């Protein structure tokens, strides 16, 4: 199975900050990498697919980059609605494993 490792596991930041979350795959996954946001008690919501493409309706402050084994999700200017947990998921091969998550909290 492909292991996905996110860092950091948690992050404190303020409204307006720029934050970056990284995701590393245990082997090359090309750009088969999707990012999800999850709020407490809710189902995840896709933000970015294929490493760098916006899902429809996602604010432009979210961006993704990377290929191969190393990927990043960047939020350019944090808004109050962005405090949540973020997961990466590889869909290069089954099982489509998720990272362990990054919890973004208000400083």
Partner 1 sequence: QVQLVQSGAEVKKPGASVKVSCKASGYTFTTYDINWVRQATGQGLEWMGWMNPKTGNTGYAQKFQGRVTITRNTSIGTAYMELTSLRSEDTAVYYCAREGSGLFHVLDVWGQGTTVTVSS
State the number of binding residues for partner 1 (CB under 8 A): 24
For the segment 55-94, give every residue that binds partner 1 (CB under 8 A).
55, 87, 89, 91, 94
| Percentages of the chain per state (helix, strand, coil), in multiples of 5 | 5, 50, 50
**b/e sequence 69-86, b meaning 16+ C-beta within 10 Å:** bebbbebeebeeebbbbb
> 74 near 20, Cβ under 8 Å?
yes
Nearer Cβ to partner 1 (16/40): 40
Considering only 19, 23, 37, 49, the residue that binds partner 1 (CB under 8 A) is 49
| By the rule CB under 8 A, 45 interacts with partner 1 | yes
Interface with partner 1 (CB under 8 A): 1, 31-32, 34, 36, 38, 43-46, 49-50, 55, 87, 89, 91, 94-101
């Amino acid at each position: 199975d492909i292991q996905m490792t996110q860092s950091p596991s948690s992050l404190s930041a303020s409204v307006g900050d720029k934050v970056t979350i990284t995701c590393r795959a245990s082997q090359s996954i090309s750009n088969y990498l999707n990012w999800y946001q999850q709020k407490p008690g809710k189902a995840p919501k896709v933000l970015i697919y294929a490493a760098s493409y916006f899902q429809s309706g996602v604010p432009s402050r979210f961006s993704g980059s990377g290929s191969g084994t190393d990927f990043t999700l960047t939020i350019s200017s944090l808004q109050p609605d962005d405090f949540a947990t973020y997961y990466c998921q590889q869909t290069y091969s089954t099982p489509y494993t998720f990272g362990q998550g990054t919890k973004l909290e208000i400083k």
